[in-house]
Each structure stands twice: as C-alpha cells, then as structure tokens.
Structure 1
Amino acid sequence: MTLTSGPPTVAPPVLVTSRPLDEYCALFGLTRAALGRLTGPVLDCPGGAAGLAAEARELGCEVVAADPGYALGPHRLAALAAAGRDRMAEAIHREPARHLPARHRRPDKYLRSWDRARRLFAADAVARPERYIAAALPRLPFADGTFALTLSSYLLFAYPAVFAPADQLRALRELVRVTAPGGEVRVYPLHDHLSRPCPHLTELHAALRHHRIAARVLTTDRARRVLVLRRRR
C-alpha cells in the first residue's frame, strides 16, 4: 500500500478535551514517578485544555503544550473544552463501556476530573503563556531534539478525515524530529473516533523504518495500544 494524501471530503470537528495528568498516565502507560525522573522537557501535542502542564510541574516535570487552539486565548479554548466535556458526558451516557475508563466507576467523578483539569489549564495558560504554543502539525516551531518525551493523543489516528496516511507520516516524523535521540514519542489512540483500527499501520511502520524511525506498539491497561517511536541509531 502506498501512503497517500488528499483533501478530506467531510472532516469531523476535532473535540477539545481537558484530560488530567492521571488520565494521560493511564492512556500512555506512564507513571507520575517516571515523569518526575525525566531529564528533559515533555511535549504535549496537541495539548488542548489539558491539565498536564500545570499538574506535571508539581512533579518537577516541565511540559510544553502545542495546539493551534492556543491562538484563541485560554478562556476561549476553555469554553470549547467545556462544550467537549458535555459531548463526552452524552457519549458516556450512550455507551459507558466504550467511553468511561475502567478505573472510573462513576461518570460524574470522571467528568469532574475534566472540569478540574480545564480550570488548571486556564489559570496556568494565563500565568505561564510561554508554555502554551500556538502551533499545528506537521510543522512545529521547536529545534531538533528539544524534548525527552513527546505525547500526542486523540488526533492523528482519531480523525482520518483530517489526517490522511501521508499526513500521518509527516506528522509522526515531525514529532520524532523535535524529540531527543534517546527519547520517545508516544501516540494514542490507534483507532478513529468510531473505534475502527488504523488499517494501514503495517505500511506506516515500513515507511517510518525507511526514515530511520523505530516503531512498536505498546499495550497498556485495558488493552490500550500505544504507538511508540524512537530514532534509530
């Protein structure tokens, strides 16, 4: 299969979310302790209205978030995240087994964690705007090898109408470019917004190898599949 690109016919709106640090850890197979041990900064791309940057700082972990939505200002983006929270509440009501994380038995408690993260984001983005960079894949305004760890959630494979296979490859290469040679890129999920798995992952792995990028799939709790990328030496 050739990785191709082309304009999407109908692109679904990208949901702006406000996930907390603990949800990031669960999604990407990380721990607070592991984040605290990192010797370099973390990139969250796209960062949305997440609480990661604000919460990770308490662990001694520096996080820079990149998202085109930051051009709107923190309060406008937080308002979009509040709407995203309402959409998630509706989705949980329809299909709790699909949308409610296993460790959260109560939807109201889970949604309150989003509310708290959104408030943390809004306050932190006002206090530390230099940590929130208005930028979009596949071109990021960072030097090569800037970050010890790069995280990308709910974008590249979640919205195939926005990112065609060739666009996914370009975006993944850019995430690797800004990540240090000994660092990792982690991408989740590997399915679209309808839970359909990426049909060209094998071809994508081959294309990444051609560009000297090692790729593997890590299975975390609840059988989540995370794409892990490293520069090959």
Structure 2
Amino acid sequence: MEQKRVYEQVGVAMTSRSYAEYEKMFMLQTENLIGKRVLDVAGGASSFTAEMRQLGVFSEAADPLYEKSVEAIAEHGLQEIELVADKMEKLVDVYDWTYYGSVAKHKAGRVKGLKQFVNDFSSKDAASRYHAACLPSLPFEEASFDLVLCSHFLFLYEEQFDYAFHQAAVRELLRVCKPGGGVRIYPLLNFQQAEYSKLPELIDELTNEGYLVHKREAELPFLPNSHQYLCIIKQPSA
C-alpha cells in the first residue's frame, strides 16, 4: 500500500496569510464587522489585522512571535516562506490549487502578506494591536472581543499538543469572547489530513455547557478535506 504523503512540520510554523484567505477560511462578511473588535490568535505575520484596520474593523492579534523585533520577524518570515515553498514543490499533486494557482503564486502572496504585516508592526502604535502572548493564556479581560479567530494552529498540531491543552486553549478563546459573539477555528484537520480525533468529545463538552457548536463550510480549497471550520457561539446570559 502506498504511504500517504503529508506535510512534515517540526515545531509551530509562522505564516503570513492575507485577509482574503481569512475571509474564505472563516466565511467573514466585513460589512458585519465594521466597528467590532476582532482578535486573531496565533496569526503570526499575517496581514489580516493591518487589512482589517483599514476596512474599519478594530482588529488585534496575539502571538508569542511579537516579542521579537520587526527585523527578526521579517527575516524569520522570509526563511519560513522559502521553506514552505520547497516542501510544497514536493507535494504539488496533494493539494487543490484552485485558489492559489501555483506554488509560485502562493509564495508571492505570502511575501506580500509579510510586507504588509512588517509595515504595520513597525508603526508607532503597533503595541496597541499586536500582543505578545500564547494560548492557553491571553492578556485580555473576559468578554473583550466580538469575534475570535484561530487559524492553522490548534487542531492542526494534534501530535504536538495533548487534549488538555486543546481544552484549555478553546476555553480561553471563549473567555475573551463577548456573549453573543463567536469563536472560529480552522482547519479541523491535523497534519495527517485527518480530522482532529478528539473533536467529537470537545464538541459534546461545549454543547453540554450551553455553547452552540457547529461545523460550517469554508471556501478555501487547498488541504485535502479542509472544507470546514468550527464555529462556537457564546450565548448571552439568561
């Protein structure tokens, strides 16, 4: 039997995704977020926060990466982009290139996102929206954000982090989310291209505690089977 070819990842990757990618991962409607407070957790050097701010959304990001200098982040980002491109060249036939087009275009998008991030992270008031922090402990008061996003971190790293970590991390995302707001996590897969094995258990726990939890369809075809994100609604108190 031919062995499944998967993306090999050591440690936690840093990425520089764009707002357009977030829009498709999480099915965002910008017009509904204008004036709202949004948090991107483990966003790395994504341009999401910078782009959302320009659109009138009060977006912030949290990542341990932000302890580093802008020069260090830029250098690390470019190295990561090259590393990812090299890995993808060996797995071209594994992925769905409908959205990205090619490895070269994917790489160009990452470089653009990194430049946008670096430009914003270099600004005088960057500390007000970029917070050096990591799950499962975020430096925000309870019920601070209307929408909390986490892409390409939690479930993807099933082998690196145990279930207790995932439980604590999701509960922390919910803690900083406002009642009536939501948490969205993408993808639901690990690096073996299988759904996170403890997801049914996690969904049951959260549902029993009164959260509205659903798998919803995403529109970023790329990873095999990555057509869904998890949506958790924090219901208002009775």
TM-score (norm 1): 0.88
Show the counterpart of 1:15.
Answer: 13
Distance 1:100 1:55, change over 3 A: farther
- Stretches of structure 1 lacking an aligned partner (at least 5 in a row): 1-10
In the TM superposition, residue 86 of structure 1 has moved relative to its aligned partner by 1.4
Are 1:189 and 1:225, in contact at CA under 8 Å, matched by a contact in 2?
A: yes
- Are residue 172 (structure 1) and residue 175 (structure 2) matched? no
Tell me, in whole angstroms, the C-alpha distance in 2 between the residues paired with 1:92 and 1:100: 12
- Are residue 225 (structure 1) and residue 221 (structure 2) matched? no
Tell me, in whole angstroms, the C-alpha distance in 1 between the residues paired with 2:110 and 2:100: 12
Q: What code does the residue aligned with 2:129 have?
A: R
In the TM superposition, residue 32 of structure 1 has moved relative to its aligned partner by 3.9
In the TM superposition, residue 99 of structure 1 has moved relative to its aligned partner by 4.3
Q: Which of 143, 159, 162 does residue 160 from structure 2 map onto?
A: 162
Are 2:60 and 2:130, in contact at CA under 8 Å, matched by a contact in 1?
A: yes
Out of 80-89 and 182-191, give the one that drifted further: 80-89
Show the counterpart of 2:200.
Answer: 202
Tell me, in whole angstroms, the C-alpha distance in 2 between the residues paired with 1:202 and 1:82: 37
Q: What code does the residue aligned with 1:88 have?
A: V
Distance 1:220 1:51, change over 3 A: same
Q: How many residues align?
A: 221
Are 2:180 and 2:235, in contact at CA under 8 Å, matched by a contact in 1?
A: no
Show the counterpart of 2:75.
Answer: 79
Say what the alpha-carbon RMSD is for the aligned residues. Answer: 1.8
In the TM superposition, residue 15 of structure 1 has moved relative to its aligned partner by 0.8
Q: Secondary structure at the match of 2:156?
A: coil
Distance 1:33 1:101, change over 3 A: farther
In the TM superposition, residue 106 of structure 1 has moved relative to its aligned partner by 3.0
CA deviation vs aligned residue, 1:102-157 (integer Å, no higher than 9, x gap): 22223222211110110111111120222110001111010111111111011111
In the TM superposition, residue 96 of structure 1 has moved relative to its aligned partner by 2.3
- Are residue 96 (structure 1) and residue 92 (structure 2) matched? yes
Tell me, in whole angstroms, the C-alpha distance in 2 between the residues paired with 1:81 and 1:183: 32
- Are residue 69 (structure 1) and residue 65 (structure 2) matched? yes
Distance 1:168 1:207, change over 3 A: same
Show the counterpart of 2:6.
Answer: none
TM-score (norm 2): 0.86
In the TM superposition, residue 85 of structure 1 has moved relative to its aligned partner by 1.0
Q: Secondary structure at the match of 1:158?
A: helix
Tell me, in whole angstroms, the C-alpha distance in 2 between the residues paired with 1:156 and 1:138: 11
Are 1:100 and 1:107, in contact at CA under 8 Å, matched by a contact in 2?
A: no
Tell me, in whole angstroms, the C-alpha distance in 2 between the residues paired with 1:112 and 1:100: 17
Q: Secondary structure at the match of 1:120?
A: helix
Are 2:34 and 2:55, in contact at CA under 8 Å, matched by a contact in 1?
A: no
In the TM superposition, residue 91 of structure 1 has moved relative to its aligned partner by 2.6
Out of 99-108 and 136-145, give the one that drifted further: 99-108
Distance 1:105 1:156, change over 3 A: same
